[in-house]
Structure 1
Amino acid sequence: MLRLFTKTALARISHPKLENVRFLSQTKCVFEKTPASSTSNESQSPQTPANQAPTDAAQTQPWQKKSQYRNVTNFDKRVLVSVGKYKSLNDVPDKVPHETLDRARDKFRVKMCIYMMVVCVIFCIVQIIRGKKAAERGESVVNSNMEWHRKYNEEAAKKENK
C-alpha cells in the first residue's frame, strides 16, 4: 500500500551517509512497515543509528553541525519580543540561533497578515456604512461623475472663449 517510491529510492534511504537527514529519517519508519525487496545490494549495507553522533571530526556532515548564531538587529529584537520568545528587549541576547530567528520571523509574518486582514475587513465595513449613508442623502457615483464632467466641460469652454 505504501509502495509509492521505487526500489532505488528505498536503497537511497538505507544509505548510511544519508541517515541523519531529517526527511529521510522520518520517512524511513514509513518504509520499514512495507517489506523491502532483497534484489538491491545497496539496501543491505550496514546502518548506524540516526541519533548516534559521529566519532571522527572528518565524518561530520553539514547537517550535523551545531546551529549557527546570527547577530540580532533592533528589528529582530522587536520581532522576538512580539512573538513572545523573550519578555523584553533587554532580555534578547546579541546572538540568536538562526532557526529561532527564522521561526520568529515566520510567526511574525503570519501575525502581520492576520492583522492586515482584520484591518481590511474593518475598512470594508466602514466603506459600506459610508456608502449607505451617501445613498440615503441621494448621492451616487453616477451623479458625482456627471457633476465632475459638467464642471470640466464648463472650464474647458471658458478656456476656449478666452
Structure 2
Amino acid sequence: MARLLGLWWSSAARGRMLGRPVGHSPGLWHRVARPVLCPARAVGNKARDAQHVALRAADPGKEAFRNDRRPTNFDKKVLVWAGRFKKEEDIPKHISSDVLDAARNVVRIKVCYIMIALTVLGCLTMVITGKEAAKKDQTLLRVNIEKKAKWRAEAEKDQEAAVGKPQ
C-alpha cells in the first residue's frame, strides 16, 4: 500500500491521518489501526516480542544491565549534588543512564542559576564602584589626562638631561 501511494505515506503520515479524526492521537495508528490494516506486521511484532521474552527468561542477567552503567567518582558527586542520593555510599553499583542524565540536567541547571547570580552580583558591584569613583571624580578621562601629563613630564626631563649632558 505504501508503494502505491509513494514515500509520503509513511507510518508517521498514516498515524497523523488516521489519528486526527479519532481523538487527535497520532499514536492511534500503532495501537489500533496498524494491527487491523497490516495484520502481517502485527503478527511479526508479536512473534518478535515472544522471542524477546523467551531470551530474557533464558538469561535474565543479560538484559538487566543493558542500559545501566557503573558510575565514576564524578558521576557519584553529580548524583549527590543533584539530590538523588544522600551520600556517595548510598549509590548502587550500577545506575541507569536515565537517572544519570536526569541528575546531570539538574546539576547543569543549578550551575546556570549560580552563573546568573554571579553575573548579576558582578554587574551590581561594577555599578556601585563606578558611582563611588564618579563621586571622587576618578573618571577614565581624568585618569588618562593625568597619565599623559606624567609621561610628558618624564619626556621633558629626559630631553633636558640629554641637552644638559656634554659629549
Settle same-fold status: TM greater than 0.5: yes
Give me the whole-angstrom Cα distance separating, in 2, the residues matched to 1:151 and 1:145: 10
- Farther-moved stretch of structure 1 (128-137 vs 138-147): 138-147
TM score, norm. by length of structure 2: 0.61
Give identity over the alignment, percent: 27
> Would the aligned equivalents of 1:14 and 1:45 in 2 still touch at CA under 8 Å?
no
Q: Name the Cα RMSD after superposition.
A: 3.9
Q: Indicate yes or no: 2:14 matched with 1:45.
A: no
Give me the whole-angstrom Cα distance separating, in 2, the residues matched to 1:58 and 1:124: 60
Could you list the per-position Cα deviations for residues 102-123 of structure 1 after superposition, in whole angstroms to 9, with x for gaps in the alignment? 1111111111011100111011
Task: Report the counterpart of residue 116 of structure 2 in structure 1.
Answer: 117
Give me the whole-angstrom Cα distance separating, in 2, the residues matched to 1:70 and 1:128: 49
Task: Report the counterpart of residue 70 of structure 1 in structure 2.
Answer: 69
Give me the whole-angstrom Cα distance separating, in 2, the residues matched to 1:139 and 1:119: 26
Task: Report the counterpart of residue 127 of structure 1 in structure 2.
Answer: 126
Cα 1:124–1:55 shift into 2, 3 Å? same
Give me the whole-angstrom Cα distance separating, in 2, the residues matched to 1:132 and 1:148: 22
Aligned with residue 54 of structure 1, among 49, 55, 59: 49
Cα 1:69–1:152 shift into 2, 3 Å? farther
DSSP 3-state at the match of 2:49:
coil
- In the TM superposition, what is the alpha-carbon distance from 1:133 to its structure 2 partner? 0.7
Give me the whole-angstrom Cα distance separating, in 2, the residues matched to 1:157 and 1:34: 91
Give me the whole-angstrom Cα distance separating, in 1, the residues matched to 2:144 and 2:124: 24
Cα 1:140–1:33 shift into 2, 3 Å? same
Task: Report the counterpart of residue 79 of structure 1 in structure 2.
Answer: 78
After superposition, residues 3-22 of structure 1 pair within 5 angstroms as 8=7, 11-13=10-12
TM score, norm. by length of structure 1: 0.62
Amino acid at match of 1:33: R
Cα 1:151–1:7 shift into 2, 3 Å? farther
- In the TM superposition, what is the alpha-carbon distance from 1:159 to its structure 2 partner? 6.5
Any gaps of 5 or more consecutive residues in structure 1?
1-5, 16-27, 36-42
Task: Report the counterpart of residue 30 of structure 2 in structure 1.
Answer: none
- In the TM superposition, what is the alpha-carbon distance from 1:58 to its structure 2 partner? 9.8
Report the structure, 1 or 2, having the larger helix content: 2
Amino acid at match of 2:51: D
Give me the whole-angstrom Cα distance separating, in 2, the residues matched to 1:158 and 1:74: 64
Give me the whole-angstrom Cα distance separating, in 2, the residues matched to 1:30 and 1:68: 34
Q: Indicate yes or no: 2:19 matched with 1:32.
A: yes
The alignment of Structure 1 onto Structure 2 pairs a total of residues equal to: 133
